[in-house]
Amino acid sequence: MTSRFDLIVFDWDGTLMDSTAHITRSIQAACQDLGLPIPPRERASHVIGLGLVDAMRVVCPGLPEPRYQDMVQAYRHHYLAGDETIELFDGVAEGLAALEAAGYLLAVATGKSRVGLDRALKVTGLTPHFLATRTVDECHSKPHPQMLLDITDQLGVAPGRTLMVGDTTHDLQMALNAATLSVGVSYGAHPVEDLLDCEPLAIFDVFDDLQQWLIQQRS
């Protein structure tokens, strides 16, 4: 059987790396530092996947524009103070190697900065697995389709042969906007019921189940 997909594009935070709680706490700490209302956990985690300035606009709407840059700087201070302790989800390193061996093209589309993604790829040793990566520095923030469309264009794969994997509605809505397929993971930032509204093919509770499902598509 021929697989439905040639290219798998992964979100990073909350999909490959277990960073949701750290990002949420860093957003809350940034607001506290600047004397702004501290958002509840659900609100802070909901913006994960957006570009940082867009995320801060959602967390604290209506501020003067320079204040969002202040929030971004405060956030980065807290995030960088602990990012070396963040680990990949169980099964990610082995699963990506298995998917690559099965013939899939792999890529990343993330709301992280280019510096942040490159640092994370180096620390985790995952750089060799990905043929293309896009960050919010180079593209419109999710759910705009540019990240996905840039990747499919670079690798010469039709959107209809591309699968987006993410933990947020921002990821899955981007897939809809780019006319690619998608699957969700339930262990990240957004509730399953919200992910289902974006019409994913499936939702997986652990990365191993996702990897096995993808391998079965090529058998």
Residues marked as catalytic = 11, 13
Residue 68 CA to residue 74 CA, distance in Å, equals 10
Q: By three-state DSSP, how is residue 9 classified?
A: strand
Residue 88 CA to residue 15 CA, distance in Å, equals 9
Which of 99, 120, 164, 94 has its CA nearest to residue 13? 120
User: Residue 87 — φ and ψ, nearest 5°?
Assistant: -120, 160
Q: What one-character DSSP code corresponds to residue 43?
A: H
Separation in Å, CA 212 to CA 178, 180, 206 = 25, 21, 10
